[in-house]
Amino acid sequence: MQKSLTILVEKDYSSNNFSAYLPELRLSVVGDTEEEVINCATDLYAAEMEKVVLPKLHSFKLVSVDLAFSQKSNVTSSVAI
């Protein structure tokens, strides 16, 4: 059985490492490289799925927000869902 897994990978320039967040499980991992953090995230997902009681998978939605700035610094936004 194949499943698509969403992983949000971020580079932390202050700590000089990477973090990966799995929104379906609401868990994250940290690693030194992007490849390491993705491998750790997939291993974490596999470990969670092997538990006797399956974890509750959370649903999520990615939302993009466009911001427009006027000369008076008033912010207007439009949300794309």
What does pLDDT average to over the chain? 82
DSSP letter assigned to residue 55? P
Whether 40 maps to a domain, the answer reads: yes
DSSP letter assigned to residue 57? P
Whether 25 maps to a domain, the answer reads: yes
| pLDDT of the residue at 22 | 93
- Total domains, the chain: 1
Whether 43 maps to a domain, the answer reads: yes
The distance from CA 31 to its chain's CA centroid, rounded to whole angstroms, is 14
* pTM for the structure as a whole: 0.62
Whether 16 maps to a domain, the answer reads: yes
Host domain of residue 66:
8-80
Whether 2 maps to a domain, the answer reads: no
Kindly state the tokens that stand for 59: 């649903």
* pLDDT at position 79 over 60: no
Whether 1 maps to a domain, the answer reads: no
Across the chain, the runs of DSSP E, i.e. the strands, are: 8-12, 17-22, 27-31, 64-69, 75-80
**Which amino acid, 39?**
N
